[in-house]
Structure 1
Amino acid sequence: MSRMKNFILVTILALLITSCNNDDEPMIIKPKTIVDLASETATLSDLVAALKAADGDLVNVLSGSGPFTVLAPTNTAFETFLTDNGFSNLGEVPTDVLAQILLNHVIDGKVSAADLTALGSGYTKTFADGAASQKMDLYFDTSNGVVFNGVAKVSSPDIEASNGTVHIIDAVIGLPTIVTHAAANPELSSLVGALTSGGNTTFTDLLSSAGDFTVFAPDNAAFAAFTNPLDNDLNQILSNHVISGVSALSTGLTNTYVKTLATFGDTDSNLSLYINTDDGVTLNGKAKVTKADIIASNGVIHVVDNVIDLPTIVDFALADPNFGTLVTALTRSDLTFDFVGTLSTPYGTAPAPFTVFAPTNDAFASLLTELGVSGLNDIDEPTLKATLNHHAVAQANVLAANLSDGMTISTLGGDITANVTGGATLTDANGRVSNIIATDVQASNGVIHAIDKVILPPLD
């Protein structure tokens, strides 16, 4: 009997020990991913439905290791988005577009609300595809809560998942256009005010449209400092900040001329813009890029520190280092003619417009060798003045397309002859031939053509 009791006691003890061991083992709880959390949140059911419907297997993507930061619009936010865009339900949204919109709510890495608040404001990249084969930029501003692109405010921050962080927001963040980014950034409010002055919708319609644009956007300080000294048309000035047909990244810019949407007088000849990348990016020698490569769906924005006024011929001569010697010649102190003042005459006032055949630095260096002198100061004033006069035509904006073989061009100093067969050239009274090596640098008061040989007056 005692043996039986002992057996029963041992058995009970063994069971108790086993039970205690099982109780000590922790319960295995599977970590919740961003998708798991969204699926368990009733107010995010539309987000989950959108993730399932969109191209790109986004449910699987956001179930991956990450880490990701997801800005999660509520059901109410989705309902507003659908209504505002003319959709009855999610099924009507093209799945490729839906995918890009959703990816525009995903940031690489784990970013807390405190991280954003510490930065104050700025741009971060999303997973959406933007212009120039770059990822889209997203603007955040924490001056009054955490707001993205000026439209979506965080209502519930820092919901932790195993593969990142979720911030619930009160609006769907659409794919931003250039106008979206300009309107969202308070440092560009003066630009937005100028673009929409008097109820004007021309610029906002254009820069909200599909296509590729590069916009040089003056900040508020730039507009505050701008006095419009030549009383130029505001729409033309604004157009002078827009390049159409290309989304140009700062890394792809070189020292060159491009065309803006501003035009010469009442013609369709677009004004030129000189880009210099020797020290950052400088435009027409006056405006410097301070924040580059803000990526939108339809182009790229570069913030600049000055308004780019409509350029004169003198502005281009000063901005382009290839014309440094020409500027030195035009500004020599003993000249009895004010070349700079004359060539700054605005369009509509005689003797503007001008056509200037501008010798490069190399052209002047060759001239000094040809004349057997060491510098410009060795050329007497009457000869220098006559030489410079042979490079300017008054009251004419002669484009390269206007030139023809045997064409006589009457400059301020005398006649020269143009030819175009085999390449555009100019022949002076001495039979010396200058090649036109760059054409149609269009200013607001005339046009410049660069030449490789200085034109001389008749040599007796």
Structure 2
Amino acid sequence: MKHLLKILKICMFSFLLLITACNDDDDGNGEMMTDLTIAEIAASTPEFSALYAALVKAGLAETLDNPGTYTVFAPTNTAFKSFLDANGIASIDDVPGNVLVNLLLNHVLDSEITSSQITTGYINSLATGPDENNLSLFLNTSSGVEINGMSAVINGKADVMASNGVVHVVDAVIPEPSIVDHALANDNFSSLVGALTRPSFGSTYTDLLSGTAGSPFTVFAPTNEAFENLLMALGTNSLDEIDDETLQEVLNYHVIAGSNVTAGSLTDGQMATTFQGEDIVFDLSEGAKIEDASDTEANIIATDVQSNNGIIHAVDKVLIPQTVWNSINPTIAGFVAMNEDYSSLLAAVQKAGLTDALNADGADLTVFAPDNAAFEAFLNSNGFASLDDVPVELLTQVLLNHVMSGVALSANLSTSYTGTLATNEDGDNLSLYINTQNGVSLNGISEVTTADIEVRNGVIHAVDAVIALPTIVTFATADPDFTSLVSALTAEDQPDFAGILSGTTNAPFTVFAPVNSAFDALPSVPVGSDLTAVLQHHVIIENNIRSEDLSDGASVATLEGDNVTVTLPGSGNNIADLTDGAGNTGIGVIAVDVQATNGVIHAINTVLIPDTTN
């Protein structure tokens, strides 16, 4: 009676299949429900006769007839014939039993996954490879569902639901993958594949990494982005510009022969000798990383992609052996690209389109480089969730505010103002205040932590904070020569000068800023409204008057109301002389053009006094 019921179930399923096949109007995936097992579906479906015969020979028909939750990628008869022909095998009967078992298990997952649940990525089949580890399948959903780049789910033939799982009909048998097969299947490794298959190498690497001689292999596979960063570091545009010997040294440095090293078997500080001959070191103190000869660690970003002749772990950096590192002299962009501490800076540089500028030979630049922690603090303090939220124009100027033209080693830095490549709305370069009295500080907000990283096109000084675009207040508070001025501006009985001069209302400002000695020379510092009038007499609103804009006899109205008159040239060492509202003359302009985003500062040696008779 049970046998009769089983026959009736199979007949009913075959009738349903016939109805589905005749209905060509539905291009979607069927999800046809049945209480047949996967084995019964294979037995009752004409296009699976080869599959069923293989399952019976391998002793797996019974397994797929038992209760469970399986996913089977089921090759058609045509797929089996193509596989046998391609491998010179007359029939399934000629395939060795143990080979056939593993081949079939490479089409089976131990959980039920419908087409809507499939995502691009790796998953393990029930087939096994070195050390009895389950083989990996790479599922790609960019166009339908593709498996290992060799087989695809046939349109309209996904989601044949069984009582113990689901069947997806595929157009090709999925052979046990080699390391080369997995590299070819994943587009993220296309640069690696291009390197391995360089015409001058012939089939050296494809034969090695698809075969068993010297296997199993452990391969640390750099992503395409990792190769892009390598090219940046080398100052080249293409892998074609790297000579054969160097490229082979690099590729060999990513392979460990004779060992299938899983992620779980790694230990902190463990060393491994590569196929190239030099060692790599594993650092598990904060995630899984690899130390190479460059002292810049690579992150292991995907693990345990198991093939039949080894295992792949994806890394975000091309590993550099000592033999190659000795000959590398990276550019600024290249150094940043090779150093994980500056991954945020690299992302910012790429978003701002500044990669080429920082990669150019002969650029001769000095860069103050904020690390990842500095960028995180900058984003948090400015209310940005990520770099993606920072407007490109703003990000570009912030980055350029860390760059000076010319090479300035730490020994050449002194307490002074210099210009960065950032500009205000008028195209004037912003200033940078460097203070070397105690280390090297920049605009009073960032400290140099590591100096004099000399690279091919300049020098890098690592800093602990992003140097935000400066306002008038930035420079006033950063420069110890203006402490008396800052005290006056922030006195309790004064308006919010700090808020005014750090904002954009009535900007740009031109500020004649008295140095400390100017305040010291006053008989007494005014208070209250008198102090307000004095301070306002030093500010010109809505005008960014640089030194080149000054002319002899020019008279300009201040925020207080009285005019300040310019005399050129200045007396003695003065760049210019000023006459204030009270008629005091010979007031010396002793430093000019400290350029902020919202105005410009000129330092003066005497406090300006307005006309008190008004």
How far has the Cα of 1:386 moved from its partner? Answer: 0.7
- Is residue 447 of structure 1 aligned with residue 600 of structure 2? yes
- Is residue 196 of structure 1 aligned with residue 358 of structure 2? no
Confirm or deny: 8 A CA contact 1:442 1:448 kept in the other structure. yes
Q: 1:404 maps to which residue?
A: 551
Cα distance in 1 for partners of 2:401, 2:481 equals 22
How far has the Cα of 1:114 moved from its partner? Answer: 8.9
Confirm or deny: 8 A CA contact 1:82 1:88 kept in the other structure. no
Structure 2 gaps of 5+ residues are 1-235, 246-277, 301-315, 384-389
Cα distance in 1 for partners of 2:350, 2:244 equals 33
Relative to structure 1, the CA distance from residue 151 to residue 174 in structure 2 (aligned partners, 3 Å threshold; closer, same or farther) is farther
Q: 2:358 maps to which residue?
A: 207
Cα distance in 1 for partners of 2:553, 2:527 equals 32
How far has the Cα of 1:168 moved from its partner? Answer: 5.1
Q: 1:419 maps to which residue?
A: 567
Q: 1:23 maps to which residue?
A: none
Candidates 447, 469, 474, aligned match of 1:315: 474
TM-superposition CA deviations, 1:284-335 (whole Å, max 9, x none): 1101111111110111111111111110000100000000000000001012
- Matched residue of 1:404: which SS? coil
TM-superposition CA deviations, 1:418-448 (whole Å, max 9, x none): 1222441110133323111100000000000
RMSD: 3.3
Q: 2:530 maps to which residue?
A: 383
Cα distance in 2 for partners of 1:278, 1:119 equals 37
Relative to structure 1, the CA distance from residue 115 to residue 380 in structure 2 (aligned partners, 3 Å threshold; closer, same or farther) is same
Structure 1 gaps of 5+ residues are 1-80, 91-111, 125-137, 155-166
Q: 1:339 maps to which residue?
A: 497
- Is residue 282 of structure 1 aligned with residue 441 of structure 2? yes
How far has the Cα of 1:283 moved from its partner? Answer: 0.7
Instruction: Calculate the TM-score normalised by the size of structure 1.
Output: 0.62
Relative to structure 1, the CA distance from residue 118 to residue 223 in structure 2 (aligned partners, 3 Å threshold; closer, same or farther) is closer
Q: 1:109 maps to which residue?
A: none
Confirm or deny: 8 A CA contact 2:297 2:339 kept in the other structure. no
Relative to structure 1, the CA distance from residue 258 to residue 118 in structure 2 (aligned partners, 3 Å threshold; closer, same or farther) is farther
Confirm or deny: 8 A CA contact 1:116 1:142 kept in the other structure. no
Greater radius of gyration (CA)? 2
Confirm or deny: 8 A CA contact 1:241 1:260 kept in the other structure. yes
Cα distance in 1 for partners of 2:298, 2:240 equals 29
- Is residue 260 of structure 1 aligned with residue 420 of structure 2? yes
Cα distance in 2 for partners of 1:431, 1:82 equals 64
TM-superposition CA deviations, 1:12-33 (whole Å, max 9, x none): xxxxxxxxxxxxxxxxxxxxxx
Relative to structure 1, the CA distance from residue 314 to residue 216 in structure 2 (aligned partners, 3 Å threshold; closer, same or farther) is same
TM-superposition CA deviations, 1:196-226 (whole Å, max 9, x none): 12xx53x111111122101011110011111
Alignment of 1:58-457 (within 5 A): 84=239, 86=241, 139-141=294-296, 151-154=318-321, 173-197=327-351, 200-201=352-353, 203-209=354-360, 210-227=362-379, 229=382, 233-244=394-405, 246-265=406-425, 267-335=426-494, 337-346=495-504, 350-367=505-522, 371=523, 373=524, 376=525, 379-413=526-560, 414-422=562-570, 423-432=575-584, 433-457=586-610
How far has the Cα of 1:141 moved from its partner? Answer: 2.9
Cα distance in 2 for partners of 1:351, 1:176 equals 46
Cα distance in 1 for partners of 2:529, 2:237 equals 75
Confirm or deny: 8 A CA contact 1:152 1:172 kept in the other structure. no
Confirm or deny: 8 A CA contact 2:296 2:340 kept in the other structure. no
Confirm or deny: 8 A CA contact 1:151 1:173 kept in the other structure. no
How far has the Cα of 1:409 moved from its partner? Answer: 0.9
Q: 1:75 maps to which residue?
A: none
- Matched residue of 2:461: which SS? strand
Q: 1:29 maps to which residue?
A: none
Larger RCO: 1 or 2 (CA < 8 Å, sep 6+): 1
Instruction: Calculate the TM-score normalised by the size of structure 2.
Output: 0.47
Relative to structure 1, the CA distance from residue 189 to residue 344 in structure 2 (aligned partners, 3 Å threshold; closer, same or farther) is same
How far has the Cα of 1:86 moved from its partner? Answer: 4.8
State the one-letter code of the partner of 2:487.
T
Q: 1:9 maps to which residue?
A: none
Cα distance in 1 for partners of 2:414, 2:516 equals 19
Cα distance in 1 for partners of 2:485, 2:348 equals 36
Relative to structure 1, the CA distance from residue 152 to residue 427 in structure 2 (aligned partners, 3 Å threshold; closer, same or farther) is same
Confirm or deny: 8 A CA contact 2:510 2:600 kept in the other structure. yes
Task: Name the count of aligned residue pairs.
Answer: 313
Confirm or deny: 8 A CA contact 1:187 1:219 kept in the other structure. yes
Confirm or deny: 8 A CA contact 1:82 1:89 kept in the other structure. no
State the one-letter code of the partner of 2:552.
D
- Matched residue of 1:294: which SS? strand
